[in-house]
A and B are shown apart, each in its own frame.
Chain A
Amino acid sequence: MSPRIKKPRKVVNPPPIKGFKPYGPDLVMAGKEPVLMHFEEYEALRLCDYDMYNHHQASAAMGVSRPTFTRIYASARQKVAKAFAEGRQISIDGGKVYFDSDWYSCKSCKCYFNNPQKDVQITQCPLCGSDKVLSCDVETDCLDAENERCADFCVCVGCGYEVLHNHGKPCNHYVCPQCGKRMTRKQKSN
């Protein structure tokens, strides 16, 4: 039986560089193969350790399940550690990913727009026609909206009282302030 096909992972922000090179005594680095890091592993590291998302939020941003995200993240950390410990280069390439399109902002009318035809260079704002366009970073607003969607709630089975779930604290450690029953995690509708 063939294994299940990997879901494509969404990469919002491709890395600005192709990899990393160590420096130091040439003897240590000579003749070693670089560590191949996939784009999804780079994105997992960026979301978790640079943007400080938890695994739950980051998995939603990449369009994979939370356990899958944790595996990608663990593999990324292992590769970084291997490169550090053995003095190897890191080459960022490959992986089963798709890129969200590039976003630009216009300085004169303060709008944001994307570029659906990736082979055409953007020189003019599509709204006001000004040439003061800048390539802009990830649309942080969208990630915030995604965070809200994947937020967890503790709910009281007795009266239905809800409170935002505190990560790392089991819901049943809390008592409902209205009826004194133990809380439980709210089941998601989707």
Chain B
Amino acid sequence: MKVAITSTGDSLDSKLDERFGRCSFFVVYDTESKSTEFIPNPNKEAENGAGPASVQVVASRNVSKIVSGEFGMKIKSLVDSLQIQMIVVKEPKTIREIIQMLNH
């Protein structure tokens, strides 16, 4: 199972990005092979429509969960119809901490 996490940087020690559509990097973590992949977000500076475009980026990697600090109105219904689970984390956590939690 793959999980997408929004990140502010391209290392495991960077913080979770609070925004989904305009985050700096997506971390795709595979819970079976324990591998991580960092994808720079092409929609970081987008004027509008960053959310749906970002959903496409992560949906093309076949993720089944997305961890972020917030999801906008447009994204919620889209992600819901793709049957991807949204996880909202309000506390500042690093990517490493989140990956540890996912390995519970």
Interface of A toward B, CB cutoff 8 Å: 10, 100-101, 109-117, 126-130, 139, 141-142, 145-146
Contact = CB atoms under 8 A, between A and B. Distances in A.
Contact of A116 (B67, B83, B102): B83
A117 B87 contact: no
- State the majority secondary structure of interface residues on B: mixed
Interface residues of B, number: 24
B98 interface: yes
A126 to B, nearest CB: 6
A113 B65 CA distance: 10
A56 to B, nearest CB: 15
Nearest to B79: A116
17 contacts: A10-B77, A100-B80, A111-B87, A111-B88, A112-B87, A113-B86, A114-B80, A114-B85, A116-B79, A116-B82, A126-B65, A126-B85, A127-B87, A128-B101, A128-B104, A142-B71, A146-B73
B85 A141 contact: no
A127 to B, nearest CB: 5
A127 B86 CA distance: 10
Given A126-B65, A127-B101, A127-B104, 20 more contacts: A100-B77, A100-B80, A101-B76, A101-B80, A110-B91, A111-B89, A112-B87, A113-B86, A113-B88, A114-B85, A116-B79, A116-B83, A126-B85, A127-B67, A127-B87, A127-B102, A129-B104, A130-B104, A142-B73, A146-B73
